[in-house]
A = this chain, B = another copy of it.
Amino acid sequence: MSLIIIGTVAFDAIETPFGKTDKIVGGAATYASLAASYFYKKVKIVGVVGDDFHQADIDTFTTHGIDTEGLQVKEGEKSFFWSGKYHNDMNSRDTLATELNVLADFDPIIPESYQDCEFLMLGNLTPKIQQTVIKRLKNRPKLVVLDTMNFWMDVAMDDLLETLKLVDVLTINDEEARQLSGEYSLVKASKKILTMGPKYLIIKKGEHGALLFHEDQIFSAPALPLAEVFDPTGAGDTFAGGFIGYLAKVGTVNFNNMKNAIIFGSALASFCVEKFGTEKIVNLTDEEVAARVQQFVNLSTFTIEA
A residues near B (Cβ < 8 Å) are 88-89, 184-188, 205, 208-209, 211, 217-223, 225-229, 256, 259-260, 263, 290, 293, 297-300, 302-304, 306
Cβ-neighbour of A300 out of B88, B208, B219 (below 8 A): B219
**Extra inter-chain contacts (19) besides given A260-B303, A260-B304, A290-B306, CB under 8 Å:** A185-B227, A185-B229, A187-B225, A187-B227, A188-B227, A208-B208, A209-B209, A211-B225, A217-B298, A218-B299, A220-B222, A220-B299, A221-B302, A222-B222, A222-B300, A263-B302, A293-B304, A300-B300, A300-B302
Smallest CB-CB A-B distances: 5 pairs? A220-B222, A208-B208, A259-B302, A187-B227, A187-B225
The chain B residue with its CB closest to the CB of A305 is B260
Docked-complex contact B293 and A297, CB < 8 angstroms: no
Bound Cα distance from A67 to B74, whole angstroms: 79
- In the bound assembly, the distance between CA atoms of A223 and B185 in angstroms comes to 13
The answer to whether B211 and A209 touch across the interface, beta carbons within 8 angstroms, is no
Complex: A222 Cα to B300 Cα, angstroms: 8
How many copies make up the complex? 2
* Structural contact, A260 and B218, CB atoms closer than 8 A: no
Residues of B within 8 Å of A293, CB to CB, are: 304
- Chain A interface, DSSP helix/strand/loop, else mixed: mixed
- Asked if B219 and A209 sit within 8 Å, CB to CB, the answer is no
Give 28 pairs: A residue, B residue, CB < 8 Å, sorted on A: A88-B184, A89-B184, A185-B226, A185-B227, A185-B228, A185-B229, A186-B225, A188-B228, A208-B209, A209-B209, A209-B220, A209-B222, A211-B225, A218-B225, A219-B299, A219-B300, A219-B302, A220-B223, A220-B299, A222-B222, A256-B303, A259-B302, A260-B302, A263-B302, A290-B306, A297-B304, A300-B300, A300-B302
**C-alpha spacing A88/B184, complex, angstroms:** 9
What is the bound-complex CA distance between A58 and B135, given in angstroms? 69
Q: In angstroms, how far is the closest chain B Cβ from the Cβ of A103?
A: 35
Give CA–CA (A72, B70) in the complex, Å.
77
Complexed CA–CA distance, A138 and B300 (Å): 38
Contact of A225 among B220, B290, B297 (CB under 8 A): B220
Give the distance in Å from the alpha carbon of A233 to the alpha carbon of B19 in the complex.
Answer: 42
Enumerate chain B residues within 8 angstroms of A302, measured Cβ to Cβ.
219, 221, 256, 259-260, 263, 300
Instruction: Tell me, in angstroms, the Cα distance from A223 to B88 when the chains sit together.
Output: 27
Provide the residues of chain B in CB contact with A211, threshold 8 Å.
225
Task: Name the B residues within 8 Å of A185 (CB-CB).
Answer: 226-229
